[in-house]
Structure 1
Amino acid sequence: MTVNAVFWGFFGTAMLMVFHSEADHRLPALKNLSYTWVDPFTLNLSWSWDKPKHLPDSCTINYEIHYPDKSEVRQVRTPNHHYEISFLTEQLESNEGNFSIHALTELLAESCAGWKKSESENISIGTQKPIVEVVKDFKCSIASSQTNCSWEPVSPSVDLKISYRICGIREENSLKKCHQFYRDGIRTGCLLQNDGQENNICVLAENAAGLQTFQAKRVIPLPKLNIRKDEDYLNLEWTSPDIGKACQLKYVVCYSECNRDKGCLEYRSVLNTLKHGPLPILYNKNCRYEFKFNATLEKYCPTIPSDGIAVECYGNNTDSIQPSDGTLTVVAIVIPVILSVGVILSCYCFRRHRAILCPTMPDPSTIFKEMMNGNKEQKTISESLYTPVPEPIEPITITPVSENSIFQQKS
């Protein structure tokens, strides 16, 4: 046997051992992966997994779950063969969500050295009804006595059912129905039991066409603004909304003066006070002020914004106000250009029609002199007429001739 044959035989055996070792050290994939809906907001995943014979008992196995959340992919880990997860249809970009699960060992565990994670097992999640948009712009305004939710129905003529509960996985959280429905223009609403102050609200909206589940947007009523003039200032004050709890509010106020943007200011209220303010604004009596503001719960409360933006105006613009900086800039540029063009055109027209615009005028003194001497010239007109000088004329002598003498000359 040659040296080359021995070398190649040894090399082939080593490679087979390597491949065999890698195959043995990859964890097996999951089996019997399935899911069930505990309620419209809770998904239960379950699976089975066979432990390899050569895996040490001290090696701990976890299961990593990847699931969609709108445009992102989130992941969680569990040592169990089942997992309950709060899952809403608004997290899906299509009617089905793809979940991916694989087994892996504890990181940096010496007993698990050499074992690689398993191949991923995938499953598509569906719902009992098709996932469709049933409502839009769903928001709940919280207050001390009740939570008022409203929305715009996608199909107003279709029967709609609204159910809700506190978000999260809790056995005591049973699904509740909306009651006291009302209509306000294009919006429909209902009153919820007072559950929205401290917790997020998960909502199930369904009709015959399908369903959707989502987390309701929570808002607070817009505080009422009072504008009070105090000498050279306008003092802005708000009445705190009744949300049943002492919270600090942050106000953001953007305003304009004489149609000029003056930027935005922030004001934070004092705890346990019904009146918030004042926020002083320097006042110009010749200007109209427009205030736009919103409020947000901050300290000691969940961060919840106000429902939209409010607009309040004060005063009027008068003739004595100065134009805005933008107007002054435009005027400073446009007027000199117009004047320059006008001067150039005027000079051109003047030169072109100079004879018409500026004809040669007679000497005024001559005209005046002729007017003053007009009567005198009429009296002496005969003296001033031209008299021709007679020319000398030579006398002409005419001699008569008889007819006989004329005939004699011809013969």
Structure 2
Amino acid sequence: METQLNAPTNLNVKWINPLAVKLSWSWRPSQNCDVRFRVRVNGTEKVPQNSTATHLLISLLTESSSKWILSVRATCGWNRESPETQLVVEAPKPRAELIDFRCYWSEAALNCSWTRNPKFSPLSLSYIECGGFESCLDQKFQHCDQADLRGERPFCIFKGNFLQKELSMVASSPAGTVTFKGPIAFRLPGVNVTENKSNAVLTFEKFDYREKAVYNICYSSCDNPWICSERNEIPCGERCRYKFKYQVRTDQYATLISSDWSEEIHGLCNGSREPDWILLVVIIVPLVLSFFVILSCICFRRHRNIICPDVPDPSALFKEMINNNKGIESKVHTYTPVQEPIEPIIVVPQIPPSSSGPVST
């Protein structure tokens, strides 16, 4: 029966700089075997794997956590391994918080800025180029060549070309520190849209990236799902509203650098123009309101006596009542009917004729 491998012992860490520790351990051989070791950080395998050394330099970044579980186990062949030994490591300083941190690339510099956090101000920024583990040991941190840390959005400018570099950054203040992979982005170039009969053509402003840039262009028509491609033409086949957004990035042969996505831009395709609400509000609506105002004034003048009739003065009315006037002279003319002419009619009674002759005596 094969003897189980001994577990590594005496795990120990030493902070080399604010973002890297040297993990070391001991191991007592239990049999003649080509033993290798597997190291994990929070359950994720670290590179290099299956090393024969009893130490490893590990980069621990506080961008997502300030506590880590490091574990080591010995392996022999494909199917034999020792129990796992663990060690909990905490960051040496409290974790600071960066708000809206961005670094924009230019051909000769990297411009980084962030939103001021009063709890962690003032905040200094530095970096090392740390693509591999061992390279973090003998490098010195590079600090800002130009900085302004006083405004609401402090900034730090590093001189150099950062296209093919992988940066590890440290933002530090008296109250805390945060370490993270340096994000590098392009500034979003402007775009001009021209139309022909069947397509909308997008022309982008030039920027100082001399290599091949790739544009991701997504569009949607009639509120249908987005369609994305790298072509700078949008087919205009439907008479409805078109909208698009875009992003620029490096090609597949360079280290990935990209810009943020633009906001949604509402374009016009194939004469499918939606109502111009600005024109409607600024011009048409005032004209319609003016027409109704003029019409109302004309109607008011024609029917003024009906809408606003003359009202007798109340003071004159009470004055006449006090003076015992017999009547109140009305300023309003009353209607007196005109008597129609009447002709007299003479009625003549009719005498009936006698039915017999004279009576003889």
TM range (shorter): 0.5 to 0.7
Contact 2:213 2:248 in 1 (8 A): no
Q: Quickly say closer, same or farther: Cα 1:175–1:86, change in 2 above 3 A.
A: same
Q: Deviations over 1:148-169 (max 9, x none)?
A: 1122233367221111112233
Within 5 Å, give how 1:239-318 maps onto structure 2. Answer: 239-244=205-210, 246-256=211-221, 260-261=222-223, 263-268=225-230, 277=232, 279-282=233-236, 290-314=243-267, 317-318=274-275
Residue of structure 2 in register with 1:188 after alignment: 154
Contact 1:248 1:300 in 2 (8 A): no
SS of the residue corresponding to residue 154 of structure 2 reads: strand
Structure 1 residue 222 and structure 2 residue 188: aligned?
yes
Contact 2:217 2:244 in 1 (8 A): no
Q: Which amino acid aligns with 1:301?
A: A
CA distance in 2, matches of 1:182, 1:251: 34
Q: Deviations over 1:291-315 (max 9, x none)?
A: 3222232332223321242444556
Q: Quickly say closer, same or farther: Cα 1:101–1:287, change in 2 above 3 A.
A: closer
SS of the residue corresponding to residue 252 of structure 2 reads: coil
Contact 1:143 1:197 in 2 (8 A): no
SS of the residue corresponding to residue 191 of structure 2 reads: strand
Residue of structure 2 in register with 1:107 after alignment: 78
Structure 1 residue 67 and structure 2 residue 41: aligned?
yes
Q: Quickly say closer, same or farther: Cα 1:283–1:121, change in 2 above 3 A.
A: closer
Residue of structure 2 in register with 1:122 after alignment: 86
Q: Quickly say closer, same or farther: Cα 1:153–1:172, change in 2 above 3 A.
A: same
Contact 1:227 1:234 in 2 (8 A): yes
Q: Which amino acid aligns with 2:34?
A: T
Q: State the TM-score, normalizing by the size of structure 2.
A: 0.65
Q: State the TM-score, normalizing by the size of structure 1.
A: 0.58
Q: Which amino acid aligns with 1:74?
A: E
Contact 1:163 1:205 in 2 (8 A): yes
Q: Deviations over 1:90-120 (max 9, x none)?
A: 353xx32111112221226xxxxxxx53332
SS of the residue corresponding to residue 217 of structure 1 reads: coil
Residue of structure 1 in register with 2:177 after alignment: 211
- Shift of the alpha carbon at 1:193? 2.6
CA distance in 2, matches of 1:292, 1:74: 38
Q: Deviations over 1:264-298 (max 9, x none)?
A: 444437xxxxxxx4x144288x9775432222323
Root-mean-square deviation over aligned CA pairs: 3.5
Residue of structure 1 in register with 2:114 after alignment: 151
The equivalent position to 1:137 in structure 2, one of 77, 100, 124, is: 100
Q: Quickly say closer, same or farther: Cα 1:250–1:143, change in 2 above 3 A.
A: same
CA distance in 2, matches of 1:122, 1:263: 49
Q: Deviations over 1:182-224 (max 9, x none)?
A: 4798532211233531122211111112211111222111122
Contact 2:168 2:179 in 1 (8 A): yes
Contact 2:126 2:170 in 1 (8 A): yes
Structure 1 residue 167 and structure 2 residue 124: aligned?
no
Give the greater-gyration-radius structure (CA).
1
Q: How many residues in Structure 1 have an aligned counterpart in Structure 2? A: 275
Q: Which amino acid aligns with 1:83?
A: L
Give me the identity figure in percent: 23
5+ residue gaps, structure 1, are: 1-20, 109-115, 270-276, 320-378, 383-411
SS of the residue corresponding to residue 75 of structure 2 reads: strand
CA distance in 2, matches of 1:255, 1:185: 40
Contact 2:215 2:246 in 1 (8 A): no
CA distance in 2, matches of 1:122, 1:63: 13
Structure 1 residue 45 and structure 2 residue 17: aligned?
no
Structure 1 residue 238 and structure 2 residue 204: aligned?
yes
- Shift of the alpha carbon at 1:228? 1.8
5+ residue gaps, structure 2, are: 277-343, 348-361
CA distance in 2, matches of 1:185, 1:288: 42
CA distance in 1, matches of 2:190, 2:39: 48
Q: Quickly say closer, same or farther: Cα 1:305–1:28, change in 2 above 3 A.
A: same
